[in-house]
Structure 1
Amino acid sequence: MKVNIPGREEVEIQNIVFDYNGTIAIDGKLLDGIKKNINELSDSFNFYVITADTYGSVEKELNGTNCEVIKIAKSSQDISKLDFIKSLGSSTTLSVGNGRNDKLMLKESILGIAILQDEGLSTDTLLNSDILVKSIFDVFSFLNDSNRLIATLRN
């Protein structure tokens, strides 16, 4: 997806990186509709879910979903997430998260989206994001209609 945002350089998004808990799952359970949305968009984007898998449920919950699960150690999660974004190419990666361990990932990505759902949102993460949304489904709306991104980010 190429997006020409007035006042910014053209953005090309190839990779979508989701944090797991608090972003696409609540208390370790995948939210209804996530699998369908990812699978419908998987021809246009590479999807990744990065997590320390606190509840030990990520692989079971994402079974049948067109995404790659990246498990990281429970220590230094913020650095592991940052390093993963850099390895993908931060200039073509959009990331979404809510926890304090997501702040570096969101800052490094070409577009970082902070999400405020049931598990809350770290203020540090909010301050390192480009956009704040109230639901993960707002992110899918952006991916389905780039004009929403343009309207939010234009100068």
Structure 2
Amino acid sequence: MLEVEIPGHRKLRLTHLVSDYNGTLACDGQLIPGLADLIRQVSRLVEIHIVTADTFGLAKQSLHALPVELAILPPADQDRQKAAYIRRLGASRTVAIGNGRNDLYMLKDAALGI
């Protein structure tokens, strides 16, 4: 568990990290160099989930040796699917990371959106 205290807000107790893949952790489907080690370190604190349409078809190959749960979602309604995913995990205990319009709902619903 990761505890985060944001001044003026309540203390967050986070157990899950949910991230988009391409454009957030990867470029053109390839994991950005140096992130594998960071993912391993962060996985000691929270469960890491990667949610993606896997546009380039490389997410499974790029992430196979890492301690992450990979969810490849159908391309339709990605924004709603990603939000539903974090709600199933427990949005109040989840930090979400994304960079696109299809990440908006999960970023809004998560305890912490980046």
Q: TM-score, normalised by structure 1?
A: 0.71
Deviating 4+ runs (over 3 angstroms): none
Larger CA Rg, structure 1 vs 2: 1
Q: Percent identity?
A: 39
1:32 aligns with 2:33: yes
Q: How does 1:32-71 map to 2 (within 5 A)?
A: 32-71=33-72
Name the aligned partner's letter for residue 49 of structure 1. Answer: I
Distance 1:3 1:19 in 2: 21
Distance 1:102 1:41 in 2: 21
Deviation of residue 41 (structure 1)?
2.2
Distance 2:45 2:73 in 1: 26
**Where does the alignment leave 5 or more consecutive residues of structure 2 unmatched?**
none
Structure in which a larger fraction of residues adopt strand: 2
1:9 aligns with 2:19: no
Distance 1:55 1:97 in 2: 17
Q: How does 1:77-116 map to 2 (within 5 A)?
A: 77-113=78-114
Structure in which a larger fraction of residues adopt helix: 1
Distance 2:5 2:60 in 1: 36
Which structure has the higher relative contact order (CA within 8 Å, separation 6+)? 2
Give the CA RMSD over aligned residues. 0.8
Deviation of residue 43 (structure 1)?
1.8
**Where does the alignment leave 5 or more consecutive residues of structure 1 unmatched?**
114-155
Q: How many residues align?
A: 113
Q: TM-score, normalised by structure 2?
A: 0.95
